[in-house]
Amino acid sequence: MEFTAATIAGFLKGEIEGNPDIKVNTVAKIEEGQEGALSFLANPKYEHYIYSTASSIVLVDKSFVPSGKIRATLIRVENAYEAFASLLRLVDQSRARKKGIHSTAIIETTAKIGSDVYIGPYSYIGENCIIGDGCSVYPHVYIGDNTKLGKNCTINPGVKIYHDCLVGQGCIIHAGTVIGSDGFGFAPQSESEYTKIPQLGNVILEDHVEIGANVTIDRATMGSTIIRKGVKLDNLIQIGHNVEVGENTVMAAQTGIAGSTKIGKNCMFGGQVGVAGHVKIANGTKVGAQAGIIGEVKAENTIIIGSPAIDYKQFLKSSVIFKILPDMKIKIDTLEKEVDSLKRK
């Protein structure tokens, strides 16, 4: 698809500086710009690229003041990053969407399939499933008995959704993810044996949840593991049984949440965060990468980091001490020797 600067500016309610008729047909990072590409500048540390980029159009904030000559056409908007994201959504929505049910798909007779649905090759839809209007189920997807998908969900290749799970409207689940596998429940019978505890609950994804690739969300022992409305999970995340993740919380890759933990709404987790079981985390908590949370976070909107996780300001002060510990050890050893010498005298 091809757009002029005038068309883009009209869509974004932006102001043009340069040629309104110049056209773009692709997008590119500002440092990798090429003729016919649209880029954006939001982070000041990338400003030097705007003076050399070959991109035809660059989105910038209205407050941006250039310090040199720019050959690209500029479109000034309130927020360049958000404007660029809205354009990407527009391009994505304009792509042709697959429709119809492939002849190799297996759909049990008791399943109910909505209108305008795509079901790809070698996918399986179980007994009493409900697939909502406008859903896309890509190849090699397994959807177990009694599972329900709301309208306009996208289930990417190789996803497995076990029986009795509920998926809300507008959810996106990326390739290789497993929803509703058994929670890690075993009762010790002796020093060397464990008995499996049946996992009889399910998983509920509320509306507009997006799950990355190769994520595992365990079903509850009883009741439900719940991912609330608007949650966004990155790739390679483990959510244990009976966990609840609050609305609009986001988690980066390789985070692990142990069973029965309750996470508040509007939280942010960096990569490789680990959370112990049966913990409550307050609304708005921000957790730095590789933090380990072993106890309750009671105060809302706090920022924590470290393992065990503590207030980030305390962590920064402590990290200064960490760096000088070897020197401190040498000084203490020297002082101990001097004290021992004085005692002998």
Amino acid residing at 40? F
Give the residue from 7, 11, 171 showing the smallest Cα distance to 86.
Answer: 11
Q: Is 309 exposed, middle or buried (0-12, 13-18, 19+ CB in 10 A)?
A: buried
- Name the amino acid, one letter, at 172: I
For residue 288, the model assigns a pLDDT of: 96
pLDDT for res 203: 98
Fold classification of 3-93 (topology level)? 3.40.1390
For residue 44, report the phi and psi dihedrals to the nearest 5 degrees: -55, -25
Beta bridge partners of 135: none
Per-residue pLDDT tens, the chain, 345 aa: give them.
789 999 999 999 999 999 999 999 999 999 999 999 999 999 999 999 999 999 999 999 999 999 999 999 999 999 999 999 999 888 887 778 899 999 999 999 999 999 999 999 999 999 999 999 999 999 999 999 999 999 999 999 999 999 999 999 999 999 999 999 999 999 888 778 999 999 999 999 999 999 999 999 999 999 999 999 999 999 999 999 999 999 999 999 999 999 999 999 999 999 999 999 999 999 999 999 999 999 999 999 999 999 999 998 999 888 888 889 898 999 999 999 889 888 887
Domain segments of the chain: what residues? 3-93, 100-311, 320-345
Q: How many CA atoms lie within 13 A of 173 on its CB side?
A: 33
What's the pLDDT at 341? 86
Q: What backbone torsions phi and psi does residue 229 show, to the nearest 5 degrees?
A: -55, 135
CATH 2.160.10.10 applies to domain 100-311:
yes
pLDDT for 103? 97
Length of the chain: 345
Q: Residue 146: which residues within 8 A CB-CB, separation 6 or more? A: 126, 127, 128, 129, 163, 164
- Annotated active-site residue 241? The verdict is yes
Residue from 102, 140, 174, 241 carrying the catalytic annotation: 241
CB count, 10 Å around CB of 100?
Answer: 11
How many C-beta atoms lie closer than 10 Å to residue 43's C-beta?
10
Bond preceding residue 121 cis, omega within 30 of 0: no
Which pLDDT value is given to residue 155?
Answer: 98
E strand or H helix at 233: strand 232-233
**How far apart, in whole angstroms, are the C-alpha atoms of residue 77 and residue 16?**
9
> Which pLDDT score, from 0 to 100, does residue 343 have?
86
Taking residue 76's Cβ as centre, other Cβ atoms within 10 Å add up to 18
Using an 8 Å Cβ cutoff, are 19 and 4 in contact? no
pLDDT of residue 89: 87
Res 342: pLDDT = 87
CA–CA distance, 96 with 237 (Å, rounded to integer): 31
Beta strands 15-17; 73-77: pairing state: antiparallel
Contact call for residues 279 and 287 (beta carbons, < 8 A): no
pLDDT of residue 97: 85
